[in-house]
Structure 1
């Protein structure tokens, strides 16, 4: 992990990269089980009140966590521990010269414990509903920028894309550059409900993968129905978020890592824009 605190533009002062161990001792039982897969997740979490969700993932992208005092984030960072499973190689905030994005993507490159896929780039995005199509098409430019900058086409684009229902009609969805350009795989399928409310059925949250290494290691991709897993009522779940996390598992990327060494790396992408 790079030494010192990264410096960000004034507009987005609240993006962090940090290594995470156990937030509280009660999470230990969730980590001890282990898995052959390396799990990367994205979660539009309104409140960090159910840390068991975070403990599932080796890399977690958090979005829409609003904490004006930043006390919650600092508390998490103080509890984080360095991970032997992955490291941050590079990071930067995309230079949005045309002011297309409401929240400029904060891009990061991570090592993976795999000879097939030694590193992967994550490009998170939380679109604003009124400009979904424009921002998602501009995400292709972010892909070109990062893949050229780091000479790495194994890229995972993920987050709350608002890519369904009233925000983006199916006809417009299929005309996106990330749909028409070769090599991009939308691994959270259209029609997968990523919303908690029983009254909605929208595939807002997405994971899009590019690169042969990603494809070779892809084991599974799905939403995580945390209300069902933790036996929460809809009202209780909505106190955490009205979105399910979305996650992708890379097969055998973590082979040889002892289960008790599992830890989580968080890419905290916080937004004052909500």
Structure 2
């Protein structure tokens, strides 16, 4: 018997036995490169984003620069309109950056019914001796799902500045300690 036939037989027997086969749980991140009003009006860009985001249970969008705060609601509306099977919602960070002229946001888009955002907060970059370690401070979300072995988990995004990447990545340990203290998330 060939290996592909063996696999098909195994899958068939598992389906008869009542063992539930999971389709997986996907978390992804995508740098949308200055996504705002202009890109949200581009049909090809929106179609591509919808295809990317709809593959994931949770999708982090980085480099959202939506000063009018209309691009993400439009993306979610279009995403939900094109997905009869799943609906999506989102949480969004504060506008982040060192200069008023260049601000970005993190956006977590999540599949309703697959995952729930149970808490969120914007990390305050004020640790004595390491103030302003981040160009764009992490936006931390706590999630819950019944689709994975670990039901509750935390995601900490970081969009580093290339010239400061080593320092920013090193400072993520302080973020880890902050999350652990705030939410008591230590796994034993």
Higher RCO by CA contacts (8 Å cutoff, separation 6 or greater): 1
CA distance in 2, matches of 1:54, 1:115: 19
Please tell me whether Structure 1 or Structure 2 has the larger radius of gyration of its CA atoms.
2
Q: Is the 8 A contact 2:125 2:132 kept in 1?
A: yes
Larger fraction in helix: 2
Residue from 21, 24, 43 that aligns with 2:30: 43
CA distance in 1, matches of 2:73, 2:148: 34
Partner of 1:76: 75
Q: Which 5+ residue runs of structure 1 have no aligned equivalent? A: 1-34, 154-210, 213-274
Residues 171-190 of structure 1 mapped to structure 2, 5 A cutoff: none
Partner of 2:116: 87
Q: Deviations over 1:201-259 (max 9, x none)?
A: xxxxxxxxxx68xxxxxxxxxxxxxxxxxxxxxxxxxxxxxxxxxxxxxxxxxxxxxxx
* Coordinate RMSD, CA, aligned: 2.3
Partner of 2:167: 134
Q: Deviations over 1:101-135 (max 9, x none)?
A: 11010000000114731111000000011111111
CA distance in 2, matches of 1:59, 1:76: 15
Partner of 1:61: 60
Change in CA separation of 1:113 and 1:89 when aligned onto 2, cut-off 3 Å: same
Residue 66 (structure 1) shift: 2.4
Partner of 2:146: 113
SS at 2:156's partner residue? strand
Residue 71 (structure 1) shift: 2.1
CA distance in 1, matches of 2:178, 2:60: 20
Residues 218-229 of structure 1 mapped to structure 2, 5 A cutoff: none
CA distance in 1, matches of 2:145, 2:70: 30
Q: Is the 8 A contact 2:124 2:137 kept in 1?
A: yes
Residues 168-207 of structure 1 mapped to structure 2, 5 A cutoff: none
- Using structure 1 for the length normalisation, give the TM-score: 0.41
Residue 62 (structure 1) shift: 0.4
Residues 1-40 of structure 1 mapped to structure 2, 5 A cutoff: 36-40=23-27
Q: Which 5+ residue runs of structure 2 have no aligned equivalent? A: 1-21, 81-86, 90-111
Partner of 1:186: none
